[in-house]
Chain A
Amino acid sequence: MQRALISGLAVAVTCAILGVFLILRKDAMIGHGLAHVTFGGVALGLFVQVTPILAAMGVSVLAALGILKLKEKAGLYEDTALGIFSSVGMAVGIILVSLAGSFNVNLLSFLFGNILAIETFEVWISVGLTVAVLLIVSLFYHELFYLTFDPESAATAGIKVKRLEGVLAVLSAITVVLGMKVVGILLVAALLVIPSAAGLMLAGNFRQAMVISAVVAILSVFLGLLSAFYWDLPASGSIVILSFLFFLVLFAVRVVKRRVKLTSEEAR
C-alpha cells in the first residue's frame, strides 16, 4: 500500500502538470493514443521476455517522437498522426497476444491497472519522473507557457519550439507508461485530462491551473486508494471516478462564480 501511495501520488502530480499543457495545446488525446501504443509495447515486452514496463517505455517514447516527425514530414494534423500510431500499436499488441496465446492474465493487469502490485523500481521511476517534470517545467516555464499559447510567435521570439515540443512528447510518453501501472492502459488518458480540466475550471492564471490540477489529482489518487482498501473497489476505476466528481464540483463552482459576477455587474 505504501509503494502504491508514493507511486500513485507521484504519477498524479506529473499527469496533472503535463495535462495542463496538453489540454491547452489541444493535445489532450495524446494520452489516449499513446496508451494504445503502450499496449503494443507491453505485449512486445511479454513476448520477448523483457520487463514489460521498460519495453512499453521505449516503444511509447519512439512513438511520441514518431508522431511529431510524421506530422512535420507528411504535413498531417496531429490527431491523424496519433490515430495512425495508436492503431498500429494496438494492432501489433493484438498480433503478439494471439501469437503467444499465454500471457493474457499478465496483460489484463496492464489493461486495467494494478497499482497495489507496483514494484519498488517502478516507484523509483515514478518519483524520478515527477522530479524531472517539476524541474523541466520550472526551468522552462516561460518558454512552455509561450509555446502553449502561441507557438508561431514563440518561434519568432527565439524559443526552440521543436525541441520543447519533443521534450513534452517524451515526458507525456513516459508518464503514460507509469500511469498505466496506476489506472491501466484503458484509463490512463483520464489521469492526463480530467484533473487538469478540473484545474482549468477555476484557475486565474497558468500557475494556479497547475497547482489546482495537482491537488485534484493527489486527492483523487489518495481517496481512490482508500476506497480500494476499505471497500475492495478497483483502485483504477475509483481514482478516475473521483477525479471526475472533482471536475463536476469545480465546474459547478465556476458556473456559480460566473452567475454571481454577471449579477453584480448588472446591478452596477
Chain B
Amino acid sequence: MKTLREVLGVITDGVQVAVKKVDFSYGATHVLIDIDLAITQGDFLAIIGPNGSGKSTLLKIILGLLPVQQGNVILFGQELARFSQWSKIGYVPQKAAHSGAFFPASAAEVVSMGLLSTKKFPKFLGRQDKESVESALERVNMEAFKTRRIGELSGGQQQRVFIARAIVNEPEILFLDEPTAGVDAETQQRFYDMLDMLNKDHNITIVMVTHDVGVVTKHVNKVACLNQRLVFHGTHDEFCSSAVVQDILKGEHHLVCHRH
C-alpha cells in the first residue's frame, strides 16, 4: 500500500509545506486552479499577483482557515486535516481583529497569547516564559513598549508585536498576510530588514503575501506569482528575468530588481 507521501508525489527533504493540485472557488467564481507549490526550509518566499489573484486565499487554505475543496495540503509531512504541531507555525495577519484602543491588553500580553496557546493545563507563564516574551519583543525592537496597550501603538508597531507573538514559540515557518499594508515607507524598510534577520540569523522560513513587488525583489530569495493559476515559482533571479511575470504584473507594478 502506498504511503501518503508516495500518493502525493516525491516530497524532498526540507519541504515544510506542499500544496498539491489545489482548486478553490467562492460559489461559481474560481479563485485558485490547480495549484502546486512546495515551500522549503530557509525560503523567504513572496506570494505576489494582481488583485483577486488568490494570494490571501492560498495562504488561508494552507493555514486551515479556509477548507481544502480539492487537492491536498501537507504541513511538515502531515495532511492538513490531521496536522497538530501548530507551534511550528507562526502567523501574522494583516491586522488583528480587535486591536483597537478599547481592547485591554498590553503588548506583552498579546505576545503571551502565542506562548500560552501551546501550553497544557495549567496554563501560566513561568520565569522562562516571561523571558521568552521579553526576548521575542526584543527581537522586533519593541521591548520598550511591552506595557503599552496594543491599541495605543502605531500600525507598524502593532505589526511588530504580532510578529513577536508569532515567533515567541520559535516557529519553523512564519506566514505573513500583507504585513506592511498602511505602513509608511521608512517603517516598511525596517520591517523587511527585520524579516531578513529572522530568515537568515534564526533560520525561520518566511512566506509573505504582498502587493509590494518593488521591496520584495530586494529581500526575498523565492517568488511565487499567482493569477488564479501559479504562473511562476522560482528564485529571485529567475523572477527578475521572467517575461511571463513582467506580462502579468504589467500595468499594476513597475518591476525593478536589485541584487542582494
Contact = CB atoms under 8 A, between A and B. Distances in A.
A200 B118 contact: no
Contacts of B86: 156-158
A54 B59 CA distance: 45
Contact of B93 (A152, A158, A200): A152
- State which size class the interface on A falls in: 20 to 34
Contacts of A203: 104
Interface stretch (A170-178, A205-213, A220-228): A205-213
Contacts of B118: 157-158
B35 interface: no
B165 A153 contact: yes
Given A24-B103, A200-B104, A205-B106, A150 B93 contact: yes
Interface stretch (A42-50, A138-146, A245-253): A138-146
A29 B82 CA distance: 36
B259 interface: no
A259 interface: no
- State which size class the interface on B falls in: 20 to 34
Given A158-B118, A204-B104, A149 B65 contact: no
Given A154-B117, A155-B64, A203-B104, A149 B96 contact: yes
Interface in A1-44: 24-26
Interface string B50-90: 00000000000001110000000000000000001011010
10 contacts: A143-B117, A145-B105, A149-B98, A149-B103, A149-B110, A150-B97, A153-B91, A157-B114, A204-B104, A209-B104
Interface of B: 63-65, 84, 86-87, 89, 91-93, 96-99, 102-106, 109-110, 113-114, 116-119, 121, 123, 162, 165-166, 175
